């Protein structure tokens, strides 16, 4: 990542459409208390109005992997802190919100389903998409299937995610010139967040960026969704391990238990008590100790990956 490059502080008007959204603390992160259609309507309204003239709105999602990484990686946590809104893309988070949260989440907002709700609204309002990420073949098939499922959808451009260096910078310039209302960014965690941190300030003509994880894999048909009952029970991760055991087994083995612990220990009133104790402790610590413990953050590392090398 380029030294000294940082996302500008959000302008006050950038929060107009999201500042009134109720959030609940889950696993240490502020999660929007919105259902699927509410989230889709918000995205349509926000993207259509382009409320921030020099920086796109940044919407992202949280699941077990994101919760775990957010707790372990300070740089990642600080990049996520730039997000205008974070929704829950994990059924265990919905269940945890009803036990530990200050507010119960109405439902899981999976990006794979959200895309279609947003697409229907975008067609009705003649809004435009750019689809960036996945392999060249998966990206092409995802675009074709989106056009087949949503006749009239305006996809002003699309590209695979295997770009780096000058090719990636040129692609960023192309996206900005095309000025899509919504950029669907499917590079996987943490590359999506790094991309927004690195290139968000250059996408001044984009209305909204929505991180999308493996959306194009499912939209292209190369990956199948878990049965409905597994999704409702929070067991979709088991289905995904069956589909991609080599890539996902170790990831879920290490992040899921940690995420469950975070949902218990860093949600709702438990999180408030921990924050209060942390503030009291900070007042008694010297500055060097505050930095060492993360109470006062160090500058974000500048050696994060800058390529868009796919999911």
Contact (CB, 8 A) for 212 and 220: no
Which pLDDT band, with edges at 50, 70 and 90, does 239 fall under? confident
Domain contains 5? no
Cα–Cα distance, 205 to 47 (Å, whole number): 11
Residue 4 domain flag: no
Higher pLDDT, residue 76 or 51: 76
When pLDDT is cut at 50, 70 and 90, the band that residue 304 belongs to is very low
Question: Over the stretch 138-182, which tens digit does the pLDDT of each residue have?
Answer: 999 999 999 999 999 999 999 999 999 999 999 999 999 999 999
Closest CA to 208 of 82, 56, 311, 103: 56
Distance CA 222, CA 141 (A): 9
276 falls in which pLDDT band (50, 70, 90)?
A: low
Residue 147 burial class via C-beta count within 10 angstroms: exposed 0-12, middle 13-18, buried 19 and up: middle
Which pair of structure tokens corresponds to residue 72? 């372990």
In a domain, 7, yes or no: no
Alpha helices in 205-267 (DSSP H): 215-220, 228-232, 236-243, 245-265
pLDDT score of 290: 61
In a domain, 228, yes or no: yes
Binned at pLDDT 50, 70 and 90, residue 302 comes out as very low
Q: Can you give the residue range of the structural domain that contains 116?
A: 12-309
6 in a structural domain: no
245 assigned to some structural domain? yes
How many structural domains are present in the chain?
1
Does some domain include residue 18?
yes
Instruction: State both tokens at 306.
Output: 């800058």
């Amino acid at each position: 990542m380029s030294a000294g490059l940082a996302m500008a502080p959000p302008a006050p008007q950038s929060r107009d459409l999201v500042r009134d959204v109720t959030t609940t603390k889950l696993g240490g992160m502020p999660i929007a208390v919105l259902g699927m259609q509410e989230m889709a309507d918000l995205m349509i309204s926000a993207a259509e109005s382009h409320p921030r003239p020099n920086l796109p709105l940044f919407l992202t999602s949280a699941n077990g992997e994101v919760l775990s990484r957010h707790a372990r990686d300070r740089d990642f946590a600080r990049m996520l802190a730039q997000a205008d809104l974070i929704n829950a893309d994990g059924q265990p988070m919905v269940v945890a919100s009803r036990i530990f949260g200050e507010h119960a989440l109405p439902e899981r907002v999976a990006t794979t389903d959200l895309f279609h709700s947003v697409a229907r609204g975008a067609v009705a309002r003649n809004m435009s998409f750019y689809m960036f990420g996945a392999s060249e073949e998966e990206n092409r098939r995802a675009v074709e299937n989106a056009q087949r499922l949503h006749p009239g959808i305006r996809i002003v451009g699309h590209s695979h995610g295997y770009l780096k260096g000058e090719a990636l910078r040129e692609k960023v310039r192309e996206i900005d010139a095309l000025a899509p209302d919504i950029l669907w960014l499917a590079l996987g965690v943490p590359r999506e967040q790094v991309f927004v941190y690195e290139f968000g300030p250059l996408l001044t003509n984009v209305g909204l960026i929505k991180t999308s994880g493996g959306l194009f894999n499912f939209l292209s048909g190369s990956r199948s969704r878990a049965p409905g009952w597994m999704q409702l029970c929070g067991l979709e991760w088991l289905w995904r391990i069956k589909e991609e055991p080599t890539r996902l087994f170790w990831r879920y083995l290490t992040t899921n238990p940690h995420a469950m612990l975070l949902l218990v220990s860093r949600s709702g009133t438990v999180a408030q008590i921990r924050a209060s104790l942390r503030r009291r402790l900070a007042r008694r610590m010297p500055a060097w100790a505050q930095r060492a413990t993360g109470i006062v953050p160090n500058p974000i590392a500048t050696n994060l990956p800058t390529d868009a090398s796919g999911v």
